[in-house]
Amino acid sequence: MADINGLKIAILVTDGFEQVELTEPRKALDEAGADTSIVSPKDGQVRGWKFTEWGDDLPVDVPLDQASPDQFDALLLPGGVINPDALRMDQKAVAFAKAFFDAGKPVASICHGPWTVIEAGAARGRRLTSWPSLKTDLENAGAEWVDEEVVVDQGLVTSRKPDDIPAFNREVIKLLASVGSPSRQAAAQ
């Protein structure tokens, strides 16, 4: 298993995130030693979506108003339709995501999550994948869209759907291990 001990990962969501696209990557990251935090424009709790109905409520670890991208080494953008559609309309959420791209920090996005990547201005010039209905949106934003289970390009890991989660998790952890943590590197010096 790759070494990502101590890396701090922000998981940016609001109500309607596809539950398995948050819980399974989070479990893999936590098991590999990362410290994950749900960041949300909502205080208290966010509600997941389980394919065709509402899912579980999960606690928000850091309200978006109190979160700084500087606190985190990487960003995870789960999908679902409701969640990324709401996030891309939230200026603070878009600015939070954009800061990760601007700083060259790793970002992982699955399913409809790349809507936030588009709003952050980070799709142009990248090769990526998503839920198929985002193909035109991504191409219009200047991305090269491909139908593959996982794509890694310029620090961005993308996947299409829940079935891709094993490959998504593998590539996210591999990318995180390759870049390491600025906070960890500073502590080692």
Cα–Cα distance for residue pair 77/116, rounded to 1 Å: 8
Supply 13's token pair: 């969501």
Angle ∠(82,23,152) on CA atoms, nearest 5: 80
Cα–Cα distance for residue pair 3/138, rounded to 1 Å: 32
Cα–Cα distance for residue pair 64/60, rounded to 1 Å: 9
Annotation marks residue 112 as catalytic: yes
Which of 47, 105, 112, 126 is an active site residue?
A: 112
Residues tagged active-site: 112
